[in-house]
């Protein structure tokens, strides 16, 4: 039988008991910080999780799942549709952005063939407009979560909608989204891997 541990971290009461694999999964999903402490009967005192994990590596991914175009699209569009809290890794953000570009670009080309949209069939135009409306909120949400990952407030995104300032803000936000994430910050634990 697998050993069960209680988990605690600043601002929480003892959680669990959970097996070590569950604790590591919760760390990677951002539900538990990486600097948590654990306790099980037989221990004299609470121990940092890094002392209990074989090899001390709490960064090790419990599954071999990593970000790709499909799971970033599903996560951002369905699982975290309007989730403006938490964090998004560079991989999550840029895989979702690439998916959006690959969908928008052909539709944009079709729209630019004739600026007056005389040659574009009405059903295609309606699909394009509907897709833009449906993905507006997830696009904003993942951008805000990406800014949270580098320790910036999500209100930077609002500057993109200010006339004249929006272009400069877009360039600044683009640079921000390229920066690596920080460790645990005021927006939570480090960005997690995709869920199964």
pLDDT in tens, 82-123: 999 888 988 899 999 999 999 888 877 776 666 555 556 677
pLDDT of amino acid 70: 87
Distance CA 29, CA 196 (A): 11
Torsion-angle region of 137 (φ positive above 0: left; ψ -120 to 50: alpha; else: beta): alpha
Q: Which residue has the tokens 């869920």?
A: 195
Buried b (16+ CB within 10 A) or exposed e, 152-187: bebeebeebeeeeeeeebeeebeebbeeebeeeeeb
pLDDT (tens digit, 9 = 90+) per residue, 47-56? Answer: 888 888 765 5
Q: Residues 52-69: what's their mean pLDDT?
A: 61
How sure is the predictor about 39, in pLDDT bands with cuts at 50, 70 and 90? confident
Characterize the bridge pairing of strands 15-19 and 4-8: antiparallel
Poorest-confidence range of 15-24, 114-123, 148-157? 114-123
Q: Which residue has the tokens 């993942």?
A: 142
Q: Are 157 and 147 in contact (CB under 8 A)?
A: yes
What whole-number percentage of the chain has pLDDT above 70?
84
pLDDT of amino acid 116: 59
- Whether pLDDT at 127 is above 90: no
- Whether pLDDT at 78 is above 80: yes
Distance CA 84, CA 87 (A): 9
- Domain positions in the chain are 4-56, 69-178
pLDDT of amino acid 64: 45
pLDDT of amino acid 93: 93
Q: How far is CA 93 from CA 31, 38, 41, 52, 73, in A?
A: 20, 32, 42, 32, 9
Considering 24-33, 36-45, 101-110, 163-172, the range whose residues carry the highest mean pLDDT is 163-172
Q: What is the mean pLDDT of the chain?
A: 82
Any idea which fold 4-56 has? Dna Ligase; domain 1 (3.30.1490)
Distance CA 37, CA 16 (A): 12
Q: Residues 71-85: what's their mean pLDDT?
A: 89
pLDDT (tens digit, 9 = 90+) per residue, 4-15? Answer: 888 988 878 888
């Amino acid at each position: 039988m697998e050993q069960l541990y209680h988990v605690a971290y600043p601002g929480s009461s003892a959680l669990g008991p959970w097996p070590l694999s569950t604790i590591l999964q919760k760390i990677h999903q951002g539900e538990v910080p990486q600097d948590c402490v654990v306790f099980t009967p037989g221990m004299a005192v609470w121990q940092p999780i890094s002392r209990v994990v074989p090899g001390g590596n709490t960064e090790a991914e419990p599954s071999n799942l990593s970000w790709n175009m499909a799971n970033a699209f599903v996560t951002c569009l369905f699982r975290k549709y309007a989730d403006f809290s938490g964090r998004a890794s560079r991989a999550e953000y840029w895989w979702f952005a690439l998916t959006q570009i690959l969908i928008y670009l052909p539709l944009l080309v079709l729209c630019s063939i004739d600026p007056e949209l005389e040659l574009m069939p009405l059903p295609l135009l309606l699909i394009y407009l509907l897709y833009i409306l449906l993905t507006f909120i997830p696009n904003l949400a993942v951008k805000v979560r990406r800014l949270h990952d580098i320790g910036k407030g999500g209100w930077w995104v609002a500057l993109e909608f200010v006339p004249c300032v929006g272009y400069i803000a877009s360039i600044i936000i683009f640079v921000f989204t390229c920066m690596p994430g920080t460790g645990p910050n005021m927006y939570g634990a480090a960005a997690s891997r995709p869920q199964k």
